[in-house]
Amino acid sequence: MQRTLPLTLAALGASLVLSAANAQAPGEPDQPPGDPAAAFIQQLDTDGDGRVSLDEALAPQQARFAEVDTDGDGYITAEEAHAAFAAQVPPEMLEAMKERGMPDPGETFIANLDQNGDGRVDLDEFKRPTIEAFQRMDADGDGFATYEEATAFFQQMRQQMEEQMRRMQEQQQDPAQ
């Protein structure tokens, strides 16, 4: 049974490329500072052809999987995912999430990515959101994401996230929805 949330998976799949936007040096020629598409290309285009292949997009994911899979058994557990999340956010944020009754980030990670229901995430399951996001980004289906395709993808993602935030704010204001 597939238990995924499309927007969550898109966000997970694009988390790498969105963080790349923060790493972009300001004033890249012909691209505004903070341009996520330019950062995506700059960060992941390892062969220098000006576009990103699926293999280039997946390479950091494979490295990240190895970092999070701390016991090296080929699976990420809820505990390992929680520890990775906790290492990236202030402890107060984790405590605030807990106080608000929000689910544990490790458990949410497993619930969203565990496709076979074994309670853990293997490398293929971990890579799936990136593959799906890349396929949406590669609009012409040629196996490469160009600057133009990445720009369109990030604009669409931003709009989806803004819409999701708007809905969440409306639900907070009117809990009966």
Can you tell me the distance from the alpha carbon of 7 to that of 99, in angstroms, rounded to the nearest whole number? 25
Residue-level pLDDT at 19: 44
What is the model's pLDDT at position 177?
Answer: 56
The answer, yes or no, to whether residue 9 has pLDDT greater than 50, is no
From the list 11, 9, 8, the residue with the least C-alpha distance to 125 is 9
**Six token digits for residue 78:** 């809820």
Could you read off the pLDDT of 109-163 as tens digits, one per residue? 999 999 999 999 999 999 999 999 999 999 999 999 999 999 999 999 999 999 9
Confidence of residue 17 (pLDDT cuts 50, 70, 90): very low
Residue 21 has pLDDT above 90, yes or no: no
Q: What is the pLDDT of residue 32?
A: 52
Exposed (0-12), middle (13-18) or buried (19+): which is 133, by Cβ within 10 Å? buried
φ, ψ dihedrals at 143, nearest 5°: 90, 5
Q: What residue spans define the domains of the chain?
A: 6-164
Cα–Cα separations (whole angstroms), residue 101 to 97, 104, 170: 6, 9, 19
Among the listed residues 38, 18, 51, 62, the one whose alpha carbon sits nearest the alpha carbon of residue 143: 51
DSSP annotation of 176 reads T
In contact, 61 and 69? CB cutoff 8 Å? no
Distance of CA 51 to the CA centre of its chain: 19
Q: Which residue has the higher pLDDT, 142 or 16?
A: 142
> Residue 49: enclosing H or E segment and its boundaries?
none
What does the alpha-carbon distance between residue 31 and residue 106 come to, in Å, rounded to a whole number?
A: 37
- Let me know if domain 6-164 sits in CATH 3.30.450.40: no
Residue with tokens 């993808």: 153
Q: What span, in angstroms and rounded, lies between the C-alpha atoms of 102 and 96?
A: 9
State the pLDDT at residue 174.
73
Query: Taking the model in full, what pTM does it have?
Result: 0.73
34: pLDDT confidence band, cut at 50, 70 and 90? confident
Q: How far apart are alpha carbons 137 and 112 in whole angstroms?
A: 21
Q: What is the pLDDT of residue 175?
A: 65
Distance CA 37, CA 146 (A): 9
**Structure-token pair, residue 64:** 């990240």
